[in-house]
Amino acid sequence: MSLSEYVSLGRSGVRVSPLCLGAMTFGEDWGWGSTVEDSKKIIDRYIGLGGNFIDTANGYTKGHSEAIIGDHIGRHPSRRDRLVIATKFLTNMYRGDPNGGGAGRKSVIGACEQSLRRLKTDYIDLYWMHFWDRFTPIEETMRALDDLVRSGKVRYIGFSDTPAWKVAQAQISAILKGWTPLIALQLEYSLLERTIEGELIPAALEFGLGVTPWSPLRSGVLTGKYTRESAKTAKPGRGVFVTRAFSDEAFNVLDVLIEVAREAGTTPARAALAWVAQRPAVVSTIIGARTMEQLEDNLGSLEVKLNAEQIRKLDDASKPKLNFPHDFLGRVQAFAYNGATINGQPSPVNQASPANDEERY
């Protein structure tokens, strides 16, 4: 597979590369990240190999991430129009201003105008709600986004980091009211964060939403550069983004990942990315490369295809504990299907059911 083997993003007509270039590390304004020049080189390398999907947000590096993309891409219409540029609203850029962020109409439209200015473009291809704003009715947010689409300033919309029940409410509201529906979800997903498999992945499959995983390497932990021993004294530049994943359970998963990578003749990072790419509903995985070396290693994952046994090993090692009623529903399949095979999936026999017609009242 290559970056130019494009895929449809959810139930939509927009086509994107199987790996999305994440721009959270563009700019050094947070004390870590890529220089402006390195960011431009990473963009050029990605595009040169056929990549067409770049993801940023209004709050990344205090707005500098968007500005870097705008200066390098937005001011050149012929280059810009060949790309799918995604950004996000919700981050409050004005301390103490209650309307400076969030998902209310005032904030959504204001943030869009500011992102358009920084990106130096007339339109945003995919506009994400960065996370759920519990103080704003979802109908207000969806109507404001619909207005932006109708005005031509936004092409498609999606949600990031939002509960499945809220995603469902938003999508049903849009469908019933004739507003622009969501086409994608951006969610944290990796071998060390699989709990979205309980509600969010099934919701994405049900509503035809493409999933674009973020932090598929859990902030670098799944690259194998940290060990149980080095984790005790490690002081990564991204701080808690990395150290939050240090645990015995995480290193147990990493042990299996390293073993599988060795079997597959690849690196742990590439194997971890390949595992994510092969999950249900996943369309385009977001890679956040701070250096050219990291970009090249991540892009190498497109050449990796894990076999069924390798996937099973990683699945077993990283199996998550999901919320009720996930496990319960798995245990009661016999009551509904009673030994029948449906859509290729067999079910156990309900031993408490009548064995024949004579036993049935």
* pLDDT tens figures, 191-239: 999 999 999 999 999 999 999 999 999 988 898 887 777 666 656 666 6
Measured in degrees and rounded to the nearest 5, phi and psi for residue 186 equal: -110, 120
Would you call 100 exposed, middle or buried from its count of C-beta atoms within 10 A (0-12, 13-18, 19+)? middle
CB 146 within 8 Å of CB 180: yes
- Dihedrals phi, psi of 20, to nearest 5 degrees: -100, 135
Count of CB atoms situated within 10 Å of the CB of 168: 14
Structural domain including 294 reads: 7-223+269-303
Highest mean pLDDT among 30-34, 123-127, 326-330: 123-127
Is 80 domain-assigned? yes
Beta bridge partners of 87: 127
Q: How far apart are CA 215 and CA 325, in angstroms?
A: 27
Task: Name the one residue in this structure whose structure tokens are 């207005």.
Answer: 147
Helix (H) or strand (E) segment spanning residue 135: none
Do 193 and 279 form a contact (C-beta atoms < 8 A)? no
Using only C-alpha atoms, the chain has a radius of gyration, in whole angstroms, of 22
Residues annotated as catalytic (active site), given as ranges: 60
- Tens-place pLDDT, residues 81-116: 999 999 999 999 999 999 999 999 999 999 999 999
**Model pTM score:** 0.93
Residues 108/140, Cβ–Cβ less than 8 Å: no
312-339: per-residue pLDDT in tens?
Answer: 999 999 999 999 999 999 889 999 999 9
Query: How many whole angstroms separate alpha carbon 72 and alpha carbon 118?
Result: 11
| Best CA proximity match to 253, nearest among 313, 300, 308 | 313
Residue 157 lies in a domain: yes
33-63 confidence digits (pLDDT tens) = 999 999 999 999 999 999 999 999 999 999 9
How is residue 74 annotated by DSSP? I
Q: What is the CATH number of the domain that holds 23?
A: 3.20.20.100
Bridge partner residues of 154 (DSSP): 124
In the chain, the percentage of residues whose pLDDT exceeds 70 is: 96
The whole-number pLDDT of residue 229 equals 73
Distance CA 6, CA 14 (A): 9
Asked if residue 254 belongs to a domain, the reply is: no
Domain-located, residue 184: yes
Which neighbouring-strand residues pair with 89? 129
Who contacts 259 (Cβ-Cβ below 8 Å, separation ≥6)?
A: 313
For the chain, the distance separating the N- and C-terminal CA atoms, rounded to the nearest angstrom, is 58
Residues 6 or more apart whose Cβ sits within 8 Å of residue 244? none
So what's the pLDDT on residue 360? 84
Tokens of 106: 């005032």
On whether residue 102 sits in a domain, the answer given is yes
d(CA 218, CA 205): 24
How would you class 36 by CB atoms within 10 Å of its CB: exposed for 0-12, middle for 13-18, buried for 19 or more? middle
Establish if 351 belongs to a structural domain: no
Distance CA 148, CA 111 (A): 11
pLDDT tens per residue across span 131-178: 999 999 999 999 999 999 999 999 999 999 999 999 999 999 999 999
Q: What's the number of domains the chain is made of?
A: 1
